[in-house]
Structure 1
Amino acid sequence: MILNRYEKMIAKRYLLPGKGEGFIFVVAGFSVGAVALGVAALIIVMSVMNGFRAELFDKIVGLNGHAIIQGYDGRLADWQGIAEAARKTPGVQSATPLIEQPLMASANGRVEGVLVRGNRLEDIRENPVLNGKVVSGDLKTITPGSGRVAIGARLAETLGAFPGAEISLISPEGRSTPVGTVPRIVSYTVGAIFEVGIFEYDKAFVVMPMEDAQTLLMLGDQVGMVEVQVDNPDKVGPTLAPLQPLVQGKGIIVDWRQMNSALFEALEVERIAMFVVLCIIILVAAFNIASSLIMLVRAKTRDIAILRTMGASRKSMLKVFMTVGLTIGAIGIVIGVILGSIFLFFRQNVVNFIQLVTGQNLWDPSVRFLSELPSRTDPFEVLAIILVTLVLTYLATLFPARNAAATDPVQVLRYE
């Protein structure tokens, strides 16, 4: 929308409060505030939802892979051939053996359910999720035959364990006796404690070398599954489809969507629902802009009539009032983007402050999965929010601007 010089002058004049127009200015100010809050709320919520999904995806996939090839009975005998075939499949980055078994852990008279994971030594040390997440101890001390394991931070708190402490793992797969099967109990030393940031993992995981896990579970040379990483997680199904004939009769292929389908679907539905609900805030702000423009048109009816008699066209009046409304919306958008950015930058400080003031735990990791409030801003989503706000603001200016353009100077100035 291109304005000439006098149209810019009039639009600027109408944006500033005149004599007796304080109320109109206050309403316009509320409109700016409403737009700013709506835009800020949308940016904050969408960024947090994106961050939540991305953090969960990165950490879940980082520990479980994009897909697993799992044996039917928890044992995959020909895992070497399956892993080699998977590595040669186009689009596959890696295929590594993995043992994962739920057991019981005991220490200091406390018993807790755990998930024992047996990985190759290089996989333990090079895992991007575990690497750099060790809060005490050292992963390098965990070697095959050393009797040392790494456990999650929450599990360490529950069992009262620390690096150098002893924990016992209890497996129901023990030796047979005349009175039944005796559970197998093996003691290990805690070599490292890690905190990946997902409560369920930090509370349950016990990581050990694959050879030690095979001995504990009496698997021999077998493993439980093969973990697969692919180039494109969104196309993991088609990528691994050529492996189906090889796996047939031995196990199944389960990708990350199937393993966590309920969680990610719920997040996506909540994300869309929050976007729609928060757009209503911007819609209300657009109505505020429309009401302030309607009052401005009523207050400036005489001025509009005079301008029309001086040669101003209907199109000029339309452009002037649409510019006023769009400017109010644009100011609100800029303020909203700034507010949203500031909040996201200090998001964890804000959460901690509110918890301190209220005395309530607003971010319980056992409920929220993650230990901290995440955030990941998508520039395209921010652009979409700005465009939606501008469109709603534009639509809100049409009615009052058309009323201003339709002003009949003869009727207004008849008794002047």
Structure 2
Amino acid sequence: MILSPFEWTIAKRYLLPGKSEAFIALVASISIGVVMLSVAMLVVVMSVMNGFRAELLDKIVGLNGHAIVQAYGGRLDDWENILEEVRATPGVVDASPLIEQPLAISFNGRIQGVSVRGNTDEDLAELADKTISGDFSELQAGAGKLAIGVRLAENIGARVGDTITVINLQGRSTPFGTMPRQIGYEVAAIFEVGVYDYDGAFVVMPMQDAQTLLLIGDSVQMIEVTVENADEVGEILAPLSQSLSGRAVVNDWKTINATLFDALQVERAAMAFALSFMVLVAAFNILSSLVMLVRAKTRDIAIMRTMGATRQSLMKIFVTTGFTVGAIGTLAGLALGFAILAGRQQIVQAIGALTGQDLWDPQYRFLTTIPSKVDGGEVTMIVLLALGLSFLATLYPAWKAANTDPVQVLRYE
């Protein structure tokens, strides 16, 4: 929509009302503010929800892979052949054997349930990047050392160099019954994955030590698989699942964490739907401010009509005025939203300090920090939604202005 110099001049005049029109200026400012806040809230909420899903997926995948190949009986005796078959599957980036077993540990008279994991040297090297204290390189087969999560270390009061006892209830049979197997291990490192449940329950050791602890010989319990595209893991591993039918089952991250990610998806959609109504409210604010402007400028509109201004020109003037208000609010909302995202952690900490409440307790939020991931497509949709509703809100007031009868308005002037 191209405006003539006359139309643009009048539109700018209406965008900046004079002192006698302070109330109209106030209503227009409120409209800009409402658009700004609605756009900012949509950007912040959708980015945080996207970040939460991406960060949670990254943490889970970083520890468990995109999928798990697990035997029906809980033990893969021919795991070397299955591992080669998995690695040969198109779309698979990496695969490695894994042992994971719920056990218990004892330290300073305290007993706590944990999940003991036996990892290969390559997987242990990847976990080394998450070290809080100690040295992962000390985790060598037969060294009698392990690593524990930072929350678990805090819960039991263990530090690097301390010896904790791992208890396996499925011990060796004796004439007096089955005796639990208890082995002491030195804490070589403390790590932080970033997922509260993992940091509070996981104990990591070399695979050979885990096999010795669990008395499973050279067997493993599962094979973790990493694929090229996490969202297409089901399609990529479908042929593998068929070929392993009867020997093992393939569970991907969508199945293993279905409840969690489905809940996130539903919450994300619900939040987007609810917050979209804020943009609708902002559009109604623009509509009301334009209606007030048209009523205040009825005499001016009549004079312009008698001087030759067309209905189309008046439509352009008021559509431009209202749309500009929406555009200014949208741009300001984007700036505000990105500013909030940049300082989200500090904002939450400041609010928590003022209220005395822990607003982001990792025990309930899964992650230790507030994540964020800006999706360009979603931001574009938010901008288009705000601008589209702003444009629609201008049509009725502009139509009323264009259909003003100058004869009726100026009859008694």
TM bin (shorter chain)? over 0.9
CA distance in 1 between counterparts of 2:281 and 2:243 reads 59
Residues 9-35 of structure 1 show CA distances to partners (whole Å, capped at 9, x for unaligned) of: 000000112242111110110000000
| Deviates most, 176-185 or 39-48 | 176-185
Deviation at 1:248, TM superposition (A): 2.2
Match of 1:151 in 2: 148
Give the paired residue count: 413
Structure 1 residue 407 corresponds to structure 2 residue 404: yes
| Deviates most, 17-26 or 48-57 | 17-26
CA distance in 2 between counterparts of 1:245 and 1:48 reads 38
Match of 1:315 in 2: 312
CA distance in 1 between counterparts of 2:361 and 2:270 reads 23
Contact 1:82/1:246 (CA < 8 Å) preserved in 2?
Answer: no
CA distance in 2 between counterparts of 1:131 and 1:161 reads 19
Deviation at 1:2, TM superposition (A): 1.0
- Structure 1 stretches of 5 or more lacking a match? none
Alignment of 1:4-403 (within 5 A): 4-125=4-125, 127=126, 130-403=127-400
Residues 375-406 of structure 1 show CA distances to partners (whole Å, capped at 9, x for unaligned) of: 11111111110000001111111111100001
Deviation at 1:73, TM superposition (A): 2.0
CA distance in 2 between counterparts of 1:68 and 1:191 reads 27
Residues 129-187 of structure 1 show CA distances to partners (whole Å, capped at 9, x for unaligned) of: x2421110010111111111010000000111111001111111101133431111111
CA distance in 1 between counterparts of 2:128 and 2:295 reads 67
Partner amino acid, structure 2, of 1:75: R
Alignment CA distance shift 1:316-1:131 (3 Å):
farther
Deviation at 1:320, TM superposition (A): 0.4
TM-score, length of structure 2 as denominator length:
0.98
CA distance in 1 between counterparts of 2:214 and 2:408 reads 94
Alignment CA distance shift 1:199-1:23 (3 Å):
same
Identity %: 60
Partner amino acid, structure 2, of 1:336: G
Partner amino acid, structure 2, of 1:145: G
Residues 256-293 of structure 1 show CA distances to partners (whole Å, capped at 9, x for unaligned) of: 10000111111111111111111111111110110000
TM-score, length of structure 1 as denominator length:
0.98
Partner amino acid, structure 2, of 1:289: I
Deviation at 1:249, TM superposition (A): 2.1
Deviation at 1:109, TM superposition (A): 1.3
- Structure 2 stretches of 5 or more lacking a match? none
CA distance in 2 between counterparts of 1:253 and 1:240 reads 8
CA RMSD of aligned residues (A): 0.9
Residues 191-222 of structure 1 show CA distances to partners (whole Å, capped at 9, x for unaligned) of: 00001110000000101000000000001010
CA distance in 1 between counterparts of 2:247 and 2:208 reads 22
